[in-house]
């Protein structure tokens, strides 16, 4: 059984707990929503799932229902204790009390090379956490994350769109990303002020350019996204290098897709 809204409120009350704004806690309180997320994740027996910000376990229970093995990570001590009680009768669920931003990922994921991350991510860590996982945790090969709609649009944005930015380029370097659904604010406790989006991120082989050089160039340019590249990258990229890369120096960073950024890096490092 997953949690209804009354069940979530009862769990909080009985434990003397309340959602913490500093941790970005908004609990999904709708069984249909969490089962929909588990279905979209495409998981089942034999799969290994890591969940971040498991909270009171509503999504955890839905993931466990699929037969997958679930490692549920929760930083809040009170919630972690409640979560252990919630999943005590669920087979294949392990609760880890830890901060995902400082987690020893090799230790937690040891023993398996292919993990799926499925999570309702706290709004305050969603973007940096996803970026860190893509950069440094290759054992996580797929992600299905529930994030604020604005964040989701940035993760999946393509060149030329208003949401396209440095994080969009990073995601595109490591993976393919798309929005696969939306979740209304009404299913959360407490109710947030914004709609949420479900984003699927699937790893792929990155292009053969130096990731550090690429991300450094992208960050510099997007730090002044309203300026033309010849200005924001002055002293870093010459007119000759722009020409060699086939990039117009009067373009702005949001105009360049991943391929163009890679050509620019190659032109400046050869």
Longest distance between any two alpha carbons in the chain, whole Å: 68
Backbone angles phi, psi at 199, to 5 degrees: -115, 125
Q: What percent of the chain has pLDDT over 90?
A: 91
Please report the pLDDT score of residue 84 as a whole number. 97
Cβ-based burial of 260 (10 A; exposed 0-12, middle 13-18, buried ≥19): middle
For residue 146, the Cα-to-chain-centroid distance in whole angstroms is: 8
Domains, in order of start, for the chain? 5-203 (3.40.50.150), 211-269 (1.10.8.100)
pTM for the model stands at 0.95
Please report the pLDDT score of residue 259 as a whole number. 98
Please report the pLDDT score of residue 1 as a whole number. 62
- What are the tens digits of pLDDT across the range 243-252? 999 999 999 9
* Interacting residues of 57 by C-beta distance below 8 A, sequence separation 6+: 3, 72, 82, 83, 86, 87
- What are the tens digits of pLDDT across the range 100-116? 999 999 999 999 999 99
- What are the tens digits of pLDDT across the range 145-200? 999 999 999 999 999 999 999 999 999 999 999 999 999 999 999 999 999 999 99
Q: Which of 262, 267, 265 is nearest to 243 (CA)?
A: 267
**Matching residue, tokens 């990731």:** 211
- What are the tens digits of pLDDT across the range 16-44? 999 998 888 899 999 999 999 999 999 99
Asked if pLDDT for residue 85 goes beyond 90, the answer is: yes
Distance CA 210, CA 148 (A): 31
- Tell me how many degrees the CA angle 134-138-139 measures, rounded to the nearest 5: 130
């Amino acid at each position: 059984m997953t949690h209804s809204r009354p069940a979530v409120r009862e769990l909080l009350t009985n434990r003397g707990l309340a959602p913490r704004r500093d941790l970005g806690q908004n609990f999904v309180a709708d069984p249909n929503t969490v089962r929909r997320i588990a279905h979209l994740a495409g998981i089942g027996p034999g799969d290994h799932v890591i969940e971040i910000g498991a909270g009171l376990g509503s999504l955890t229970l839905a993931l466990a229902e699929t037969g997958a093995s679930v490692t549920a990570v929760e930083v809040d001590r009170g919630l972690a204790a409640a979560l252990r009680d919630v999943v005590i009768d669920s087979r294949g669920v392990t609760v880890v009390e830890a901060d995902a931003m400082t987690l020893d990922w090799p230790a937690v994921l040891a023993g398996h090379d292919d993990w799926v991350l499925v999570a309702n991510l706290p709004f305050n860590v969603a973007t940096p956490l996803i970026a860190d996982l893509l950069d440094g945790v290759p054992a996580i090969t797929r992600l299905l994350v529930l994030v604020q709609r604005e964040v989701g649009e940035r993760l999946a944005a393509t060149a030329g769109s208003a949401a396209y930015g440095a994080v969009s380029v990073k995601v595109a370097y490591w993976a393919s990303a798309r929005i696969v659904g939306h979740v209304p604010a009404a299913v959360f406790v407490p109710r947030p002020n914004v709609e949420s989006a479900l984003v699927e991120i699937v790893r792929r082989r990155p292009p053969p350019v130096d990731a550090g050089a690429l991300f450094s160039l992208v960050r510099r340019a997007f730090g002044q996204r309203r300026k033309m590249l010849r200005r924001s990258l002055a002293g870093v990229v010459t007119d000759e290098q722009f020409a060699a890369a086939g990039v117009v120096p009067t373009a702005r960073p949001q105009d360049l897709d991943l391929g163009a950024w890679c050509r620019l890096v190659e032109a400046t490092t050869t």
